[in-house]
Structure 1
């Protein structure tokens, strides 16, 4: 059974397998999510959209879709591929997602979500979970949210991740939907009181582990997204701050050395250093030389025949200003 105390949000174009490997180097316990993958991509796409590194576990596939048969078939494939859980996207507000009849618009169809959950759970031995908003458009009362959870949980879903903002399906862009609708953490806390047997995680606007631990006085888990992507080294403290395990905290240099090896392996298999390095631009944020680190990677990591040494060269810019970082 996975502990969902801390997880990293599924972020389109960001949380690919290279990003997730980077995060796993820093935290062994944080639950990682894929980018949202649609049922069409899995069933009809030419690429292997479910590829991952074995080190990424615990790992959850976030699935986008609403056709019960397609969702069930993808759930079976995900289980065969070794994923630990499957999460249904009922929170993304983009037009493209709405046109495909999945994402946040599904909050208006709790019975359909419940049918997907029931079928997916019956066909697999791994959990199916749901990530949603607190409401959509004018369907934003607490009673609406309460009924959504009641309907979907009755079908067998035991874990809900709630982004504590409503979504406007028209009039706001996905980016605006992450910032403009006000956060309502109390509404998520109330869900936990009303559904004490469900595992409730909260998402939205959380930027520190201190805040995460405060939320967990009221609910079961916290999901963080953009803050980790922009300041990834915070994850080095996650296992100790969230799980209090007293494990070794890797230095930036230790993290960097592991990622040098990973990039070299990726390049040897035909990839490019930039596929990995782009996720590491924030590794030195907060340090003197961070801007030079980002600039060097941006300017030098995208060429052919560039390996992990580009990371070391970028980090040298930071070491010149922070010589104490040279200690492993």
Structure 2
């Protein structure tokens, strides 16, 4: 099922029309999330929305250059539109990683300037790069020199003791001068010392007003807001101010609530009529995965929230959580039968 990463199977040239279509897809995007948005998760998410822009987990440039490229970069062709997020701070290395990624035909290459994890800081990339905008500009220019897809940036509003009202507009202006036309902004600071990565997603206060103001100050930039967005109503409220909205944890933990309604943003019908239909459609995908030597939990760990707030949600989650690591398709069938039974009661 994985796309053959050979030049003959590349998408057509990434011309202005294609870039415009990806910008339209980023009206709603699903955030890159470490250990979560792997290829199995993305196949599941694509079942619920044909139009939302999906992101890979962050992949470091050194890993792409020196590691197992097929393991890191392969994906199912059905995942398009799909963006690859790279992490790094060496312009030459990012250039090389971008050039390699060309052969996989991603629709966008995104540079991570927002992740606050210890692993990222030790590599001097992620959110710490908010302190080095000139280096970020050098990085994105090196990437743009070789990329067939549009290069974008995901950032924070600032880090540590920086004043976001000063730092953020200056950072965006530098990115714009470097040729960047599309950015996603997490509306929180990142504290590089004293807070865990999880706390950095929850503790620093959100400043949506500042991010909204950036769209007013940079009307020619395509800007998306990210951070703490938990409902379809939230998405619509932000789209009154922004070009796009990026949703993270809510789309992961309540996938049907977010993605099941997503395609209405493009005046399109949802590809599925409800979470039961999604679960049924996933069954042959999972079965093929098992036949190829995969494990059930590699898919189902991303699907635990499919029935969030609905009859049978607890049984679905419990059955898969307890049985998927050692069972096969019969565990999945049992979980789905319990949902159907609860819905009929």
TM-score band w.r.t. shorter chain: over 0.9
Structure 2 counterparts to residues 33-112 of structure 1, below 5 A: 33-46=55-68, 48-112=71-135
Change (3 A) 1:107 1:62: same
2:53 matches 1:31: yes
Q: After superposition, give the CA deviation of every residue in 1:185-219 in whole Å (9 maximum; x if it has no partner).
A: 01011111111100000001111112111111111
Query: Which residue in the other structure is 1:229 paired with?
Result: 252
Query: Which residue in the other structure is 1:158 paired with?
Result: 181
Structure 2 counterparts to residues 110-149 of structure 1, below 5 A: 110-149=133-172
Q: Secondary structure at the match of 2:326?
A: coil
**1: CA distance between counterparts of 2:52 and 2:271?**
15
1:125 deviates by: 2.2
Query: Which residue in the other structure is 2:9 paired with?
Result: none
The answer as to whether partners of 2:49 and 2:270 remain within 8 angstroms in 1 is no
1:311 pairs, out of 332, 341, 345, with: 332
Query: Which residue in the other structure is 2:341 paired with?
Result: 320
Query: Which residue in the other structure is 1:202 paired with?
Result: 225
Gaps of 5+ in 2: 1-19
Query: Which residue in the other structure is 1:279 paired with?
Result: 302
TM-score (norm 2): 0.90
Q: Secondary structure at the match of 1:21?
A: helix
**2: CA distance between counterparts of 1:141 and 1:293?**
43
The 4+ residue runs of structure 1 with deviation greater than 4 A are none
Q: Secondary structure at the match of 1:49?
A: helix
TM-score (norm 1): 0.95
The answer as to whether partners of 1:36 and 1:64 remain within 8 angstroms in 2 is yes
The answer as to whether partners of 1:90 and 1:107 remain within 8 angstroms in 2 is yes
Structure 2 counterparts to residues 232-251 of structure 1, below 5 A: 232-234=255-257, 235-240=259-264, 242-251=265-274
Counting matched residue pairs gives 321
Gaps of 5+ in 1: none
**2: CA distance between counterparts of 1:62 and 1:158?**
16
**2: CA distance between counterparts of 1:237 and 1:120?**
34
